[in-house]
Amino acid sequence: MNINELVNSKNGDLIDDLTGWVDSIRDHGGLTFVDLRDFTGAVQLVFDKSGEVDTKLKNEYYISINGLFKKRNKELINNKIFLGDVEVEVTELNIINVSKTLPFQIEKDIDTDENIRLKYRYLDLRREPMKVNIMTRSNTFKSIRSVMNDLNIFEIDTPTLIKSTPEGAKDFLVPSRKSPSNFYALPQSPQMYKQLFMMAGFPNYYQIAKCYRDEDSRKDRQPEFTQLDLEFSDANPSLVKSNIEKIVKFVFSDAYDCKIDTPFKSLSYKDSMNLYGTDKPDMRITETLNDITNLFNDTEINFLKDILENGGLIKALHTEELLTRKQIDTLDTDIKAMGSNGLGWFKIDNKEITGPLAKLLQDSEKLEILKLGSGTLLFQAGDLHSIAQYLDFIRRTIFKPSSNEMYSFVWIEDFPFFEYEDDKLQPSHHPFTSPKDNETFKNDPINAIALHYDLVLNGVELGSGSQRINNPDIQELVLQKWGLSEEEIEERFGWFIEALSYGTPVHAGFAIGIDRLVAEVLNQPSIRDVIPFPKTQSGLDPLTNAPANIDEIVLEEYNLKYINKDE
């Protein structure tokens, strides 16, 4: 019997075989009170032989009891908890299993190192907050499958042992014992396989997919993660976004009991960068960046003059609050740690402007700054893409969400097709994204726009999608522009380009990070808090000590051996 079933009991009923963990023990003289906890809740047990109970029971012992169901006296009712008005007088106790001393207490709030929590994750999952997180995740899966059935979208699975075709991050490689010196890869996404379904004639596809990327972990990234993956045939971005909005709206209502408005707002990548300094803006913060470049066109401040002469600009945020010097110095330290040369600032108090650069201002510049009103002007100067991350950080630090919306969605679209990374041209999304205009892409790829779109929730990139390339010549051209040789293209993608060559329909798709979605809905600091058994930031599993060495005899079966880099 579980604790939740007690709600159907009446005063004086016999309770048979109620099981759970000992949550706490309180000795009150001739009586001992024990809180019994299971997955469904907790209830107070009453023993009338305190000494015997004290010697028998310890926290987290798993027990079974028989007893009498009793209503508490009015003065003893605890209205703050479920079943706080009842208790069970124990007549028989059976200790099913004992527990070692706990590495941490099974409590709602604990101050314990995360590595310890992950090492004993099975205990951490007994805590109520973690239980709520995992159940919310489970309900998300249920809702997804429910709405997919309503929309008549087919659930189809894809392989998890595939050919290595890196999409940006490094692959996890799996050696093949039967084919020595050859390797499978774990999929970074089901991208090419779901496109194959469209080539095969399926009208749509979805999968709750496990994906793997061998990259540095962060609070919103894990080596192994879960995403909702979709694809639609004869589709364009508008159709995909419309379906995504239906799906998200249903999941929020069904799994989270929260109503959200659709359609979502839309913003171009260019406007997002100019207004917010990021392509993942938190739209609940209403303050935006100001371009104050013209204010300093004739400046005598040498470093600003040099930046403007080299085509840079000056972007600023103005707060009505007069920030303290400590607040300003903290911001300065933080953005310097990110790579900035430092924080530019002026304090405006009525008719007075103060700050390290105030004495270098010309009268005309002072007049323009004073027009902004009292407060603090914080700015960064340089190329927008080099200073954007600092402006975004400043904006999110000094301004807090002022919107009444708990969840604010926005589509970001019209991304550049390519970006420079380490002086090399890289697709800003993945190389299967269709250019918005093929001719521009062919003649001027660095200025080409991609039919790519992101969905952002509260400043978190929730998912990405695009219209896919369905022309084999364009697909090969993208890979060439990426810098791959003809041999590399054939070796890595030849089979896929061949598949595109047999009358491939127009198709488009999307993927939503389920871990990120649940973490944001539950306001968790990291996706690790909503994944049952996550890895640490360094990619380790403290529970099983994975990854681990493999015996050299086993490695020989795979035609592998360890290399000592020091030799």
pLDDT at 27: 85
Gyration radius (Cα) of the chain, Å: 30
CATH code for the domain in which residue 90 is found? 2.40.50.140
Residue 484 lies in a domain: no
What's the pTM value of the predicted model, to 2 decimals?
0.92
* 200 three-state secondary structure: coil
Residue 73 exposed, middle or buried by CB count within 10 Å (0-12, 13-18, 19+)? exposed
Residue 550 lies in a domain: no
Strand partners, 20: 63
Tokens 């005309």, located at residue: 364
Do 296 and 314 form a contact (C-beta atoms < 8 A)?
A: yes
* 385 three-state secondary structure: helix
> Is beta strand 62-71 parallel, antiparallel or unpaired with respect to 41-47?
unpaired
Residues 293 and 173 placed together within one structural domain of the fold: no
pLDDT at 51: 62
- ∠ Cα 445 446 447 (to 5°): 90
Residues 311 and 198 placed together within one structural domain of the fold: no
pLDDT at 84: 86
pLDDT of the chain along its 567 residues, tens only? 999 999 999 999 999 999 999 999 998 878 899 999 999 999 999 998 766 676 789 999 999 999 999 998 888 888 878 888 999 999 999 999 999 999 999 999 999 999 999 999 999 999 999 999 999 999 999 999 999 999 999 999 999 999 987 666 889 999 999 998 899 999 999 999 999 999 999 999 999 999 999 987 677 789 999 999 999 999 999 999 999 999 999 999 999 999 999 999 999 999 999 999 999 999 999 999 999 999 999 999 999 999 999 999 999 999 999 999 999 999 999 999 999 999 999 999 988 999 999 999 999 999 999 999 999 999 999 999 999 999 999 999 999 998 778 999 999 999 999 988 777 778 888 899 999 999 999 999 889 999 999 999 999 999 999 999 999 999 999 999 988 999 999 999 999 999 999 999 999 999 999 999 999 999 999 999 999 999 998 899 999 999 999 999 999 999 999 987 665
Residue 69 lies in a domain: yes
The secondary structure of 213-277, three-state, reads: CECCCECCECCEEEEEEEEEECCCHHHHHHHHHHHHHHHHHHHHCCCCCCCCEEEEHHHHHHHHC
Residues 290 and 392 placed together within one structural domain of the fold: yes
pLDDT at 350: 84
Residues 314 and 364 placed together within one structural domain of the fold: yes
Residue 78 lies in a domain: yes
Cα distance between residue 170 and residue 341, in whole Å = 32
CATH code for the domain in which residue 350 is found? 3.30.1360.30
Domain residue limits at 138: 130-258+407-416+450-472+504-531
Residue 111 lies in a domain: no
* 427 three-state secondary structure: strand
Q: Is 112 left (phi over 0), alpha (psi -120 to 50) or beta?
A: beta
DSSP 8-state assignment for residue 433: B
- Helices 191-199 and 486-500 pack at an angle, to 10 degrees, of 40
Residues 6 or more apart whose CB falls under 8 angstroms from that of 503 comprise none
Residue 93 lies in a domain: yes
Residues 235 and 298 placed together within one structural domain of the fold: no
Max CA distance (Å), the chain: 89
Residues 349 and 368 placed together within one structural domain of the fold: yes
Residue 203 lies in a domain: yes
Residues 36 and 151 placed together within one structural domain of the fold: no
Of the residues 97, 115, 148, which one is the last residue of a structural domain? 97
Instruction: Kindly write down the DSSP assignment for every residue of 50-117, as one continuous string.
Output: HHHHHHH--TT-EEEEEEEEEEPPGGG--TTSTTTTEEEEEEEEEEEE--PPPSS---SS----HHHH
Residues 242 and 311 placed together within one structural domain of the fold: no
pLDDT at 397: 96
Q: Strand 313-319's sheet: what is its strand order? A: 290-291, 313-319, 375-382, 344-349, 352-354
How many domains does the structure of the chain reveal?
3
Residues 217 and 317 placed together within one structural domain of the fold: no
Q: Of 290, 270, 276, 280, which Cα lies nearest the Cα of 395?
A: 276
Residues 292 and 217 placed together within one structural domain of the fold: no
User: Which ranges of 339-411 would DSSP assign to H, the alpha helix?
Assistant: 363-370, 384-398
Residues 330 and 365 placed together within one structural domain of the fold: yes
Residues 214 and 136 placed together within one structural domain of the fold: yes
